[in-house]
Amino acid sequence: MELLTKTLFLCLALALANGGPLQVLFSPCSDASLPDRCEGIEFDAITPDEKGNTFFFKGSHLWKGFHGAAQLANESFKELDDLHHIGHVDAAFRMHNVENPDDHDHIYFFLDDKVFSYYNHSLEDGYPKEIQEDFPGVPSHLDAAVECPKGECMTDSVLFFKGHDVHVYDITTRTVKTKTWTHLPVCTAALRWLEHYYCFHGHNFTRFHPVSGEVSGPYPKDARAYFMHCPNAGHGGHYEVPKCSEAKLSAITSGDAGKSYLFAGPIYMRLDTRQDGLHAFPIIRAWKEVTNGVDAAFAYNDNMYLIKDDHIYIYKTAVHYTLIDGYPKTLKEELGIEGHVDAAFVCPNQHTVYVIQGRTMSDVDLSATPRVVNDRPVPLPMSDIDATMCNAEGIYLFKGSQYYHYETPMILGMSRMAPQSLPVTNAILGCQD
């Protein structure tokens, strides 16, 4: 509030000096003083909240989301100014700790040597605290912070940046390991967005691997072209979500870990994180060896299986996606399958992959060694299936912008007439209704 009060008094003084009391009613000072991120800003901190809204902080202001004007930060998080009287946030992140609901999805702000914890924009009791009290071993006066869930990092962790040092905080053990990434720019803000990690510096950003710090691709890039809507700035990262009536999939899969992916041509989208916005990425960004799209995909035993032509690629999912040694292999060698595959699916907590080719469906026991395809495929009541997915609600077979629903693979295999097809909806694919 101290900064806001000073600003208002300054505006009042300028208005009185330039036109007397009447000028106060029309003074543009408050609007003119708002920072414009399209001019090029080095952000102090970036974090999503528990609802998926992304906040960009600069000084006493913030932006909510990828478009819109700046607002005073103390309108959303008033205690940051009331209790600490500091001009900016050093670092911020959204906690990922599903094993502890008292922490999960809470936002942590770091200011000098203090930490603030918010949920639903309300400061938690007992805060602010000393940083060391909540995060032992983590230094004060940080530059940036970002959460890193298990599966993307080795354990549920937080990356704290100070200069070129990265302090990796293990949430469970409350221990810190420090790395030095001199190849990465000094980050003034960091963001995890749709399973990717971004270091913001100046008005640019650099994408990095959260375990190694490795930078792949042509970076840095201008943040104004990707993380905000700015005039005359080509937005290379935006993806126009298609209309549901125009949906056309190549593959779709949902794994036991809850991750759901949609593949369409050369791109993929993560569906289960839609609270952070739907966004398309090239398939080769996550699965760099798959250069020409996929025909089918399924998840099994913490691995992702991608089928293209007569080859199958198997990726470990423990730390991002790493191709298992010896792959790709032929479908014949891995599954005993020959010919083009239209779609494939594995149901939750099951060991059988069902493979659709034309009007037939075969099955392979993935727990068997060697894997052998059932030599008696069952006929299907429809053809030209684009993609299939099995989850707790049943089996979805997608054909263009329509889909068929079955409760179990057995019911699907025994059906001799296709049920009424249903239109694809936003609830299923995140498309525009």
pLDDT for 347: 94
Using one digit for the tens of pLDDT, what is the confidence trace for 81-121?
A: 665 555 689 999 999 887 888 888 899 999 999 999 999 88
Number of structural domains (the chain) is: 3
Same domain, 170 and 287: no
pLDDT for 101: 81
Q: Is the pLDDT of residue 236 over 50?
A: no
* pLDDT band with cut points at 50, 70 and 90 for residue 11: very low
CA–CA dist 57, 72 (Å, integer): 10
pLDDT for 280: 79
Residue 307: give its domain's CATH number.
2.110.10.10
Same domain, 265 and 398: yes
CA 374 to chain centre: 38
CA–CA dist 116, 99 (Å, integer): 21
- 315 in a domain, yes or no? yes
Rounded to 10 degrees, what is the CA torsion of 199, 201, 204, 205?
0
Q: Is the pLDDT of residue 155 over 80?
A: yes
Per-residue HEC secondary structure of 14-71 comes to HHHHHHCHHHHHHCCHHHHCCCCHHHCCCCCEEEECCCCCEEEEECCEEEECCCCCCE
- 236 in a domain, yes or no? no
Q: Is the pLDDT of residue 378 over 50?
A: yes
Q: Is 114 left (phi over 0), alpha (psi -120 to 50) or beta?
A: beta
C-alpha distances (whole Å) from 74 to each of 2, 92, 93 are 10, 15, 17
Q: Which residue has the tokens 């289960």?
A: 272
What value does the mean pLDDT of the chain take?
86
β-pair partners for 147: 158
Same domain, 62 and 153: yes
* pLDDT band with cut points at 50, 70 and 90 for residue 235: very low
Same domain, 394 and 305: yes
- 20 in a domain, yes or no? yes
pLDDT for 269: 87
- 35 in a domain, yes or no? no
Using one digit for the tens of pLDDT, what is the confidence trace for 256-278?
A: 567 889 999 999 988 887 666 67
Q: Is the pLDDT of residue 42 over 90?
A: yes
Helical H runs in 108-167? 131-134
CA 110 to chain centre: 23
Helix (H) or strand (E) holding 114: strand 114-119
pLDDT for 24: 31
- What range does the domain containing 126 cover? 42-225
Q: What's the N-to-C CA distance of the chain in angstroms? A: 44
C-alpha distances (whole Å) from 92 to each of 100, 126, 161, 163, 355 are 19, 18, 11, 16, 45
Q: Is the pLDDT of residue 335 over 70?
A: yes
Highest mean pLDDT out of 71-80, 230-239, 413-422:
413-422
Q: Which two tokens stand for residue 249?
A: 């999939």
Q: Is residue 89 within 8 Å of 189, Cβ to Cβ? A: no
